[in-house]
Amino acid sequence: MMTNIKSVISGIGGYVPDYILTNDELSRMVDTSDEWITTRVGIKERHLLKDPHLGTSYLGIKAVEDLLQRTGVKPEEIDLVICATSTADNQFPSTASKIAYGCNLKNAFAFDIQAACSGFITGLTIADGYIKSGYCKKIIVLGAEKMSAIVDYQQRETCPLFGDGAGAALVEGTTEDVGIMDYIMHTDGTGYTHLHMKSGGSISPASHETVDRREHYVYQEGAHVFKHAVSDMSNVCKELLKKNNLTINDIDWLVPHQANLRIIEAVARLTEIPAERVIVNIQKYGNTSAASIPLSLWDNQNRLKKGDKIILTSFGAGFIWGAIYLKWAIE
């Protein structure tokens, strides 16, 4: 292992579709209102990929193209593509392979990971190992989701929450004192029953009956998920701070998964990180699952400066949650 090497995010790209579904329009589709959605989850609008012939790979390709344009990196320089998604184009092949092909990343191998809303930070921990081993020099880690494909727009509790988008990070090595410093990840499989898709996998393959029962959409027990998201994200952030002898005064930015504004505010309160140091853009994009943290970095990169100490934290189905401590590397 090349232990003197640290993994850094050296570039960020992103993409959200043009079509914006507002709360007012949503209230004409299902029994809800702008006030109800805003006060409960803090979302005003979300971007949707309306073309039924385009999937998650399209969003990922657009984000990677933006990343390559911003960084000036050539497609052939990319060694690996890790795509975190819960909304893969197909059961197989991997969406990552389609993104690599679409962006002409001809020297990259590619695979998907499934860690729900924690997929992007999970992907970063995997990339960290590949960089430190010396096997890869340039890796693209992306979160890409077409959540509108698995949202039931007859369910007022879930349909206001989710949006479509993709964010991509370029990860490479450095000997500078920046980059990924540490991380802690957890999984508790007892959370399965509270957040999952009931059918469509090997345990309950698609059938006329499963379609009729509307079992191919996100199923969520909101109160239970809310409680665990708040406690688990705040606890893992405090665990990571203690492990690295950091106080809240050392942290410049908290970048939480954008699931629900009340969850974000509760995590900030429990970790005692002031609101002005918490990145929030849920009002514009909704919950984009694995794409939410890279989209938050992409959307706010003009506010970040080299050397900033940042905590990324997420919680998702599985339950899987964790936090990454990094020093920002981009000027």
- Residue 284 and residue 226 in contact, taking contact as beta carbons nearer than 8 Å: no
287 annotated active-site: yes
Find, among 327, 121, 323, the residue nearest to 238 by Cα. 323
**Amino acid at site 217:** Y
- Residue 301 and residue 70 in contact, taking contact as beta carbons nearer than 8 Å: no
d(CA 104, CA 108): 9
- Residue 283 and residue 163 in contact, taking contact as beta carbons nearer than 8 Å: no
Q: Which of 159, 237, 260, 287 is catalytic?
A: 287
Let me know if 168 is exposed, middle or buried by CB neighbors in 10 A (0-12, 13-18, 19+). Answer: buried
**Phi and psi, residue 296, nearest 5°:** -65, -40
Q: Which of 117, 136, 159, 237 is catalytic?
A: 117
Q: What angle do CA 85, 113, 71 make, to 5 degrees?
A: 75
257 annotated active-site: yes
Tokens coding 87? 């909304």
Number of helices (H), then strands (E), belonging to the chain: the values are: 10, 13
Q: Which of 159, 228, 257, 260 is catalytic?
A: 257
**Amino acid at site 218:** V
**Which residues does the annotation mark as catalytic?**
117, 257, 287
